[in-house]
A and B are shown apart, each in its own frame.
Chain A
Amino acid sequence: NAGVTQTPKFRVLKTGQSMTLLCAQDMNHEYMYWYRQDPGMGLRLIHYSVGEGTTAKGEVPDGYNVSRLKKQNFLLGLESAAPSQTSVYFCASRFPSTANYGYTFGSGTRLTVV
């Protein structure tokens, strides 16, 4: 049981390049989320998904796209990276239970755009 796994762990991109961050969970969680963490700003929601084939925008969705083709995977794409997207990205998931609303986080992806 690996929990929530993010790949890659580190990446350096040049402005204008594209990339995809992968989040995989093996806990059969229905809900999945992508957050970005910047100093002094906490965790801000980019996009989220409440089930396979569904996605929705969060607080800061511009410049990102997502897909949830399989229940266990949630992909975050940057089509044309900008220096403002330099951040640490965390994926999280949770089970749709009224007994437990807590998130399980992945270990993060540190992205630098130069």
Chain B
Amino acid sequence: GENVEQHPSTLSVQEGDSAVIKCTYSDSASNYFPWYKQELGKRPQLIIDIRSNVGEKKDQRIAVTLNKTAKHFSLHITETQPEDSAVYFCAASKPPNDYKLSFGAGTTVTVRA
């Protein structure tokens, strides 16, 4: 099955700085790569996703890049704010034939004021 590795496991940044989280995947057939944000004690929520036919996608302060050749994708958060403090999970899947998401182990991001 798909194996998703995520780095770093913890990340501390100064407010206003950028944060970058990287993930690698093992199955070259994977074609859908979402990112979920989980605040303390809450449920994971989808914040951005990218499909394999796109190299980059942006939504305000967050962006995701995908390198299919190297089988890795990254989440970029610019101008970090205290409300960005959370656990972030990357995931991969290969719809429409495979319905399951395989998640990375998560990155705990702390934004220091």
Q: Which residues of B contact A44 (CB under 8 A)?
A: 103
- Seen from chain B, the residues whose Cβ lies within 8 Å of a Cβ on chain A are 1, 6, 9, 32, 34, 36, 42-46, 49, 89, 93, 95-96, 99-106
Secondary structure call for the B interface:
loop
In the complex the two chains form, what is the Cα distance from A50 to B46 in whole Å? Answer: 20
- Seen from chain A, the residues whose Cβ lies within 8 Å of a Cβ on chain B are 31, 33, 35, 40-45, 48, 50, 58-59, 90, 98, 101-103, 105-108
In the complex the two chains form, what is the Cα distance from A45 to B89 in whole Å? Answer: 14
Question: Is B105's CB under 8 angstroms from A41's CB?
Answer: yes
The 8 Å CB contact of B89, one of A42, A59, A102, is: A42
List the B residue with the shortest CB-CB distance to A35. B103
Closest 3 CB pairs of A and B: A105-B43, A43-B103, A42-B105
Question: Is B43's CB under 8 angstroms from A107's CB?
Answer: yes
List the A residue with the shortest CB-CB distance to B106. A42
Closest Cβ–Cβ distance, residue A66 to chain B (whole Å): 14
The 8 Å CB contact of A42, one of B1, B42, B93, B103, is: B103
Given that A101-B32, A101-B49 are known contacts, is A108 also in contact with B43, CB under 8 Å in the complex?
A: yes
17 pairs across A/B with beta carbons < 8 Å? A40-B9, A42-B6, A42-B89, A42-B103, A42-B105, A43-B44, A45-B102, A48-B99, A101-B32, A101-B93, A102-B34, A102-B46, A103-B34, A103-B101, A105-B43, A105-B44, A107-B43
